[in-house]
Amino acid sequence: MLAVPYAVGVDPTLNSAASEPATSDQRRRWDAIVIGAGVGGAAAAIGLAQRIGSGQGVLLAERSSWPRPKVCGGCINASAVALLDRLGVLRDVRHAGAVPLGSVRIQRKFRECHLRIAPGLGLARETLDACLVDAAVRTGVVFVPETRAEVLPLRTSISPVAKAELAGRRVMLHRRLASEEHVAGVVIVADGLAGSSLDRLDGFGCEVAPGSWMGLAATIDGAEPFAAGEIRLCVGNHGYVGLVGLKGGSTHLGAAMDSAWVKTIGGPAKAVREILESCGEQTVGNLEGCRFSGTPTLTRRRPRMAERGLFVLGDAAGYVEPFTGEGMAWALGSAEEVVRLAADGIEARAETLNQLSERWQAWQTAKMRKQQRRCRWVRGILRRPWLADAAIAGLSAGLVRRAVERGLWPSITASRPAHTLRPALTVPRGRT
């Protein structure tokens, strides 16, 4: 049988369910299964556990060992900070060593501009994800790392008795040499860019943007310290590198680059150094000694993001090269919204689940595409050297800079909620 371990680094006495093995049919049925323990998945698991209370519980499955490194810029913008606060985990994040951020310095060649931004936080992504998973376990979520999940297709021809017994979505969980089929009222997929949990479903493929860049991340020890509370963005002809100072004196590096150019120039360390030195950053520490993590090509979209009882969010739903923490804000905002729909769908009829899935598809299309459009615009500028030069020159002008500062990164929380995108539904009592 497939054992369900407790979260790494968490005292199992905090959550009796988290240390209980899934050795009975009862433990193979769940109110919700969340696939992927990144920002979006962990936040959705916390929200669902808070919303539904007692019942058959929430299972959070993560394919990697735990904790694990994650490619990310390390910036939690103001929208994401507000969402973490509403989730009830902001204090934990601050105590984990998050540093305040209040400005971004954009450099290209030897020209630069300095912009004030709404207060955010800087924190290594591995630490942030660990905070969220720990909070999920304390809330009652069962966490299973090193577990590969596959969402199984809907059954279309089974007997009425079997249909009643198997009401919900089926998920196959693979852990080491054991595999088990689990059933949940709803399934939330947040397994990132390289996720494979939807591979067995028709129509859920991703469309990768032509010429999309790859992502890189590393932690640099020994880099020359720079202004506290500042994000430094260095723009080159084949990519850009973001730097954020972390607690303890190390520097977090996140970058997006042309993968062909990285290969031609001799690897990530040489590519990063080329961009930083072209912007006047001469003392950047021992890049050659850093351990770089990479991603597949970044910018992509998934045209289909929902099916009966199934909701896709975060990077798994679509991604655009982010700027000052947009990716995490998108994921947290999506998690907050999906909890409202998924909690209503856990005991809903099939017809209601279909309608809830339609709402999610409509909300994702209307809201997230709009949010990502702004980053597509920035991405387009950064990929054209002459346009990047002109933009930085314009931002250096006081009037233009102040106008941009006032309009930078409006809050994700001002979005139109999903429940307004369709007529109201009647859901079973007890799930409001």
| Strand (E) or helix (H) holding 387 | helix 385-395
261 is a domain residue: no
Q: How far apart are CA 177 and CA 5, in angstroms?
A: 15
351 is a domain residue: yes
99 is a domain residue: no
* Residues constituting the chain: 432
Map residue 350 onto helix, strand or coil: helix
112 is a domain residue: no
Which residue range is the domain that position 309 belongs to?
12-70+127-209+299-383+412-420
109 is a domain residue: no
For residue 10, pLDDT over 50 is answered with: no
Q: How far apart are CA 350 and CA 335, in angstroms?
A: 22
276 is a domain residue: no
Residue 229 in contact with residue 105, Cβ under 8 Å?
no
Q: How far apart are CA 301 and CA 369, in angstroms?
A: 9
Instruction: Of 181, 190, 192, give the one whose Cα is nearest residue 153.
Output: 181
358 is a domain residue: yes
Give 31-70 pLDDT, tens digit per residue.
Answer: 999 999 999 999 999 999 998 875 569 999 999 988 888 8
273 is a domain residue: no
Please state the rounded mean pLDDT for residues 159-180: 75
Position 100 scores a pLDDT of 94
Instruction: Of 302, 366, 310, give the one whose Cα is nearest residue 338.
Output: 310
Give 96-126 pLDDT, tens digit per residue.
Answer: 999 999 988 888 887 888 888 889 999 988 9
310-312 vs 178-189, strand pairing mode: parallel
Residue 352 in contact with residue 424, Cβ under 8 Å?
no
Per the model's pLDDT, the better-predicted residue between 156 and 206 turns out to be 206
Provide the mean pLDDT of the chain. Answer: 79
Instruction: Supply the pTM of this predicted model.
Output: 0.83
Number of domains in the chain: 1
Q: Around Cβ 229, how many Cβ atoms within 10 Å?
A: 16
Q: Which residues of 24-54 are buried (b: 16+ CB within 10 A; e: fewer)?
A: eeebbbbbbbbbbbbbbbbbbbbbbbbbbee
Give 65-94 pLDDT, tens digit per residue.
Answer: 888 888 888 899 999 999 999 999 999 999
pLDDT tier, 388 (very low <50, low <70, confident <90, very high otherwise): confident
CATH of the domain at 33: 3.50.50.60
Q: How far apart are CA 284 and CA 223, in angstroms?
A: 5
